[in-house]
Amino acid sequence: MSRQNSATDEEAGAIDLTPMLDVVFIMLIFFIVTATFIKEPGVEVERPDATTSDYKNSKILIAVDNDDKIWIDKNEIDEALVKDQIELLIAENPKSPVVIQADSKSTIKMLNIVAQKAREVGVADISIATNKQ
């Protein structure tokens, strides 16, 4: 008779972890769903200075380095393939603006080519990343 009582007492004193695990998994799912994933262009650029600037959220980043090489998603992209790559990114996020991170030593010609390719795809919101003074 005493064996049954001691087993019942142990079960009564045990802590049920199932509700806590449920809460932890729900919180994990919440943070994964609400997290913002930004695709970096893959190269560090020295941005030019500007007196005014505006922060854009959820954007497509395209970098032009000091050698006029174009970088998207950590991959160097040929000038002829820039339009196709922008089309793929716009298909994923149709309303995302395009932000061009041009190095201060890159040429205006390459910056204009990238902006023109984005306009050909149909992007109306094109910006150039700068350092705020």
Place of tokens 């902006």: 115
Contact by Cβ (8 Å): 127, 99: yes
What's the confidence (pLDDT) of residue 42? 65
Mean pLDDT (10-residue bins), the chain, 133 residues: 60 79 91 72 65 63 89 88 90 85 88 92 85 66
What's the confidence (pLDDT) of residue 36? 64
Complete DSSP assignment for 8-66? HHHHHH----HHHHHHHHHHHHHHHHH-------SS---PPEES-----SS-EEEEE-T
Contact by Cβ (8 Å): 48, 130: yes
What's the confidence (pLDDT) of residue 32? 83
What's the confidence (pLDDT) of residue 130? 76
- Classify strands 126-128 and 98-102 as parallel, antiparallel or unpaired: parallel
pLDDT tens by residue, 103-116: 888 888 998 999 99
Contact by Cβ (8 Å): 77, 106: no
What's the confidence (pLDDT) of residue 18? 84
Closest CA to 110 of 68, 78, 73: 68
Place of tokens 């339009």: 83
What's the confidence (pLDDT) of residue 120? 92
The rounded distance, in Å, linking the Cα atoms of 128 and 47 is 9
Closest CA to 86 of 66, 96, 56, 109: 96
